[in-house]
Amino acid sequence: MFDLSVYKNRRAALHKKIPHGIVLLLGNQEAPANYPDNTYRYRQDSTFLYFFGHSLPGLAGILDLDAHRDYFFGNDVTMDDIIWMGPQPSIAELGAQVGVPRSYPLKQLNKMIGEAVAKGRKIHFLPPYRFDHYLWLEALTGIRAAAVQNYTSVELIKAVVALRASKEPCEIEELDKAAHVGYLMHTTAMKMCRPGVKEQLIAGALDGIASQYGSMVSFPTILTQHGETLHNHGHDHLLEKGHLMLTDAGAELTSSYCSDHTRTVPVSGKFTDRQKDIYNLVLAGHDHALELAKPGVTYQSVHLAVCKVLARGLKDLGLMKGDTDEAVAAGAHALFLPHGLGHMMGLDVHDMENLGQTYVGFDDEVRPSDQFGLSALRMGRRLQEGFVITDEPGCYFIPALIDKWKAARLHASFLNYDEIEKFKDFGGIRIEDDILITKDGSRFLGKERIPVTVKEIEAFMRNN
Ligand code: GLY
Ligand code: MN
Ligand code: MN
């Protein structure tokens, strides 16, 4: 946890952003896996964590915007709990640790919200994403669970996004630490990568590192020799010489700050010429994003510039043709790169995605697109100092997509289908690092860089 002043300042900033009503922030409960006492690893709601700091189940918080008062709610443990869990701090102690002197049992929360509803006061709450929260919101507000999504507060969503989007120095320190755990995970993957090794063996080792040095992985690890499937969570293959192993994995610290990196390496330890050609194109795009990313620039423009690097390179290799700018404007390159350049990252690996991507990654100026490929961009708006985003271009040869586009002769003036056909056994490449937007530019998070050039990767795999 950070110093209590951090949480007080954040809540004070939220008070300033919304003039009236009550902000209701629900903490997450335990989530049973297969019976009530056998739960998934506990994960606090990131917005609750941001304003109230505690990563424990059964908590809630209120900001009374009219009375300028904050409240902290939870039930003190019973002797039965102490027998099974050991001594626990009281709710009053937990509240005091985050600068909230007014703490009460949960039944008081029901009473306060009930009274506010009776008086017709506005209750600001965020879109629920856990089913128990739908029911909790129904019990508190009287709005039917099936309808609560219609009553979420856009004012609160926008205020939370505005605050959480710019990372404070104490958060950046955590994100740098999370990147270090990511470094350990990815270099371990490179060390273990050999023909004949099962993907699962390496993926399991990465899970272990994430929990040894932090809390857990920041999302289920993608580790596969079939990187052409973007979110391939299967780990069933024995790695084969000639294939590329794509590892997209990150750590979440006990503070819940995340990392998210991707590396693609040759199973044999040495890239073939064809793999090198495509890899260097993706890397050129990836490095170009870091050059362009700075305050005031839209990330959509960075995404499109990276697409052009890729399209130009694919043209040089004979896979694309025609005018590169026109090809990218038409979306022809999306056959190879059907996803966006990146997303915000912080307390969530896809930061604040639960609040709605259009509020997080877009604004009145930069709107989401419905063009295939560009529509998958999660972050398009102008960058600001303190933003943390991922830079994750890729190039994929997805046989089913190639077949579909080829049959329809889609973008045939920009795509050399006869050449593309020869790459249907290629797989996919993605390279991902996490970027901090600084005062006048950007930097990668983490003190050490995971090997990324062809030379660095081959040398690392040879020597480890
Ligand atoms: N977790 C997948 C990604 O966004 O990189
Ligand atoms: Mn990733
Ligand atoms: Mn990512």
Of 200, 201, 218, 207, nearest to 185 (Cα)?
207
Of 291, 367, 372, 370, nearest to 339 (Cα)?
372
Is residue 162 within 8 Å of residue 17, measured between CB atoms?
A: yes
Q: Taking the mean position of all CA atoms in its chain, how far away is CA 155?
A: 23
Return the bridge partners of 104, or none.
73
d(C-alpha 51, C-alpha 46), whole Å: 9
> Phi and psi (nearest 5°) for 164?
-75, -20
Of 124, 187, 197, nearest to 158 (Cα)?
124
CA 452–ligand 2 middle distance (angstroms):
15
Q: Taking the mean position of all CA atoms in its chain, how far away is CA 98?
A: 26
Buried b (16+ CB within 10 A) or exposed e, 254-290: ebbbbbbbbbbbbbbbebeeebeebbebbbebbbbbb
CB-ligand 1 contact for 219 (6 Å cutoff): yes
d(C-alpha 308, C-alpha 221), whole Å: 29
Predicted confidence at residue 178, as pLDDT, reads 98
CA count, 13 A, side-chain hemisphere, 440: 0
Predicted confidence at residue 432, as pLDDT, reads 98
- Measured from the alpha carbon of residue 391, the closest ligand is 3
Tell me 364's DSSP state. Answer: S
d(C-alpha 221, C-alpha 199), whole Å: 11
pLDDT in tens, the chain (464 residues): 999 999 999 999 999 999 999 999 999 999 999 999 999 999 999 999 999 999 999 999 999 999 999 999 999 999 999 999 999 999 999 999 999 999 999 999 999 999 999 999 999 999 999 999 999 999 999 999 999 999 999 999 999 999 999 999 999 999 999 999 999 999 999 999 999 999 999 999 999 999 999 999 999 999 999 999 998 889 999 999 999 999 999 999 999 999 999 999 999 999 999 999 999 999 999 999 999 999 999 999 999 999 999 999 999 999 999 999 999 999 999 999 999 999 999 999 999 999 999 999 999 999 999 999 999 999 999 999 999 999 999 999 999 999 999 999 999 999 999 999 999 999 999 999 999 999 999 999 999 999 999 999 999 999 99
Return the bridge partners of 394, or none.
430
In sequence order, which residues have a C-beta less than 8 Å from that of residue 169 and are 6 or more positions away?
Answer: none
Structure-token match 């507000």, residue found: 141
Angle at 60 between CA 59 and CA 62, to 5 degrees: 155
Is residue 193 within 8 Å of residue 239, measured between CB atoms?
A: yes
Tell me 351's DSSP state. Answer: T
pLDDT tens across 63-94, in order? 999 999 999 999 999 999 999 999 999 999 99
Query: Considering the chain, what is the average pLDDT of its residues?
Result: 98
Q: Given CA atoms 267, 268, 269, 272 in this order, what sign does their dihedral have?
A: negative
* Mutation choice for ligand 1 from 186, 229, 263, 350, CB with most ligand atoms inside 8 A: 350
Cα Rg of the chain, angstroms: 24
Predicted confidence at residue 232, as pLDDT, reads 85
CA 248–ligand 1 middle distance (angstroms):
7
E-strand spans in 250-330? 251-252, 261-266
Given the CA of residue 342, which atom of ligand 1 is nearest to it? 4
pLDDT tens across 355-384, in order? 999 999 999 999 999 999 999 999 999 999
CA 338–ligand 1 middle distance (angstroms):
13
Residue-by-residue DSSP string for 44-76:
--HHHHHHH----SS-EEEEETTTTEEEEE-PP
pLDDT tens across 251-304, in order? 999 999 999 999 999 999 999 999 999 999 999 999 999 999 999 999 999 999
Q: Extract the tokens encoding 193.
A: 């990568």
